[in-house]
Amino acid sequence: MDRILIRGGNRLSGRIAISGAKNAALTLMPCALLTDEPLTLRNLPRLADVDGFGHLLNQLGASTAIEGTRPEDFGRVMTIRAGRLTSTEAPYDIVRKMRASILVLGPLIGRAGEATVSLPGGCAIGNRPIDLHLKAMEALGAEIELTAGYVKATAPGGRLPGGRVSFPIVSVGATENAVMAAVTAKGGSVIENAAREPEIVDLCNLLVAMGASISGIGTETLEIEGSDRLHGATYRVMPDRIEAGSYACAAAITGGALDLVGADADAMRATLSALQEAGVTIEERKGSVYVEASNGLAPLTLSTAPYPGFATDMQAQFMAMLCKADGASVLTETIFENRYMHVPELARMGADIQVRGRAAVVRGVDRLVGAPVMATDLRASMSLILAGLAAEGETQVNRVYHLDRGYERLEEKLQKVGADIERVGDG
């Protein structure tokens, strides 16, 4: 199994190209199931999760073709053709590896009138039930049956009638599934308390490009008029705001300066605001976001929240960064109840962190020290990389397959801006 070795202490400086967004890509890809015409996605990141989702689409009868690209290029162009679905079942052996697989539920019901999807797996960062997905499908007219670890959903008469979905709490995935199911319903639908993440805006914009009728995009109330059929489209995946935020933290924790090429400042406003509060200089340029930290870091008090609040996917990276702040910071995790599994690993490197329920108190330390550490989930992996960049000596990060799910060519990008980092195999 691969490991990543980091010899810390180097100040990062230079330009990093921001890849297409993982969370957007995994939402846009299932839209191909809604049409018998080709869907071409540009700027698709080269990630294990993207490959896995492509495999799932293949299982359902869709073909996936990737245009030839040079090895040094970031991003890919994929054309997905689902002219005829050969299956409406997403099997356990695929779904258990990736929670995003549940996002085929809505489009399969919308296109085929039925779907059988295994209960999902993925990162072990807490209980993430799919009851909101199922209640949304029922509100749109689907009949739901749970049996032997699978969700079986059917549309009476082969097509959903549409309806009103009112979420009791904000759910990104459930909103995405509801939108994809509603766009081909017989009638109109309203989705209330919808998530407003930029990735959902990206999803809605793609569906509109495919012929869907959606109003209220970017707000908490989406109104959708069902279409008889959608057509193909060519669409560019939005830049990854979490990747950009992670590299911004890399600049901050090393006292460096990075120009994040392609980053969308508007999509990551809460992250940039928090960085500025910590004393990091942010400059929004045409086509990039410049980040510089040369005067140390101030402590922060942060609480994760649904968009436009501070993203839970940035909590672990900020925790690592704040280990080098001058004072005590308080982070409160409100989205997932088990997202502090990186704390013991950071402590192995000399971090001073106390967890009190959903809050973590991070006291800045003069030095972090390299150590063997183990990644527990995707964003926790990045927090260990960040700590390793600033630590004295060598850090060995194990279980890096988590990183490969969400960061495209991470070590290559960091090497180009001065990091002493490499991937090594057991052999």
pLDDT tens per residue across span 260-304: 999 999 999 999 999 999 999 999 999 999 999 999 999 999 999
| Pairwise CA distance, residues 343 & 349, whole Å | 10
Q: What is the pLDDT of residue 127?
A: 44
What digits encode the pLDDT tens for the residues 160-209? 999 999 999 999 999 999 999 999 999 999 999 999 999 999 999 999 99
Q: What is the pLDDT of residue 124?
A: 39
Q: Place 339 in a pLDDT band, splitting at 50, 70 and 90.
A: confident
| Pairwise CA distance, residues 164 & 143, whole Å | 15
Please say whether the beta carbons of 316 and 382 come within 8 A.
yes
Q: Which of 123, 204, 249, 323 is catalytic?
A: 123
- Asked if residue 335 belongs to a known ligand binding site, the reply is yes
CATH number for the region 3-19+239-424 comes to 3.65.10.10
The highest-confidence range among 43-52, 92-101, 144-153, 245-254, by mean pLDDT, is: 245-254
Cis amide leading into 198 (omega within 30): no
Q: DSSP letter for 162, please.
A: -
Q: DSSP letter for 427, please.
A: -
Q: Which residue is listed with tokens 């082969």? A: 158
HSE (CB half, 13 Å, CA atoms) of 68? 0
Helix axes 241-253, 269-277, angle to 10 degrees: 10
- Measure CA 140 to chain center: 26
Q: What is the pLDDT of residue 68?
A: 64
Of 341 and 72, more confident: 341
Q: Which fold has domain 22-236?
A: UDP-n-acetylglucosamine1-carboxyvinyl-transferase; Chain (3.65.10)
- Asked if residue 130 belongs to a known ligand binding site, the reply is yes
**Which parts of 100-163 are beta strand (E)?**
114-118, 143-147, 150-154
Q: What is the pLDDT of residue 97?
A: 79
- Asked if residue 132 belongs to a known ligand binding site, the reply is yes
| Pairwise CA distance, residues 419 & 252, whole Å | 14
Q: Which residue is listed with tokens 């995946």? A: 237
Non-local CB neighbours of 211 within 8 Å, separated by 6+ positions: 227, 229, 230, 231
What tokens were used for 69?
């690209």
The highest-confidence range among 88-97, 107-116, 399-408, by mean pLDDT, is: 107-116
Mean of pLDDT values over 232-260:
98
Instruction: Write the single-letter amino acid at 166.
Output: S
How confident is the prediction for the chain on average, in pLDDT? 94
123 is catalytic: yes
Residues facing 362 on adjacent strands: 329, 353
On the question of pLDDT at 427 being above 50, the answer is yes
Q: What is the pLDDT of residue 425?
A: 87
* Distances 159 to 108, 140, 141, 393, 425 between C-alpha atoms, Å: 11, 10, 9, 61, 50
Q: Place 98 in a pLDDT band, splitting at 50, 70 and 90.
A: confident
Residues facing 166 on adjacent strands: 192
Q: Which residue is listed with tokens 């000399």? A: 350
| Domain span(s) for CATH 3.65.10.10 in the chain | 3-19+239-424, 22-236
Look at strands 114-118 and 89-90 and give their pairing.
parallel
HSE (CB half, 13 Å, CA atoms) of 143? 7
Q: Place 123 in a pLDDT band, splitting at 50, 70 and 90.
A: very low
Mean of pLDDT values over 81-98:
91
Please say whether the beta carbons of 195 and 306 come within 8 A.
yes
Please say whether the beta carbons of 45 and 237 come within 8 A.
yes
On the question of pLDDT at 390 being above 80, the answer is yes
Of 186 and 379, more confident: 186
* Torsion sign over Cα 379, 382, 386, 388: positive
- Asked if residue 128 belongs to a known ligand binding site, the reply is yes
The full length of the chain comes to 427
H/E run at residue 214 = strand 213-215
Sheet containing 352-356: which strands, arranged edge to edge?
A: 301-303, 328-332, 359-363, 352-356
On the question of pLDDT at 71 being above 60, the answer is no
Please say whether the beta carbons of 257 and 235 come within 8 A.
no
Q: What is the pLDDT of residue 122?
A: 41
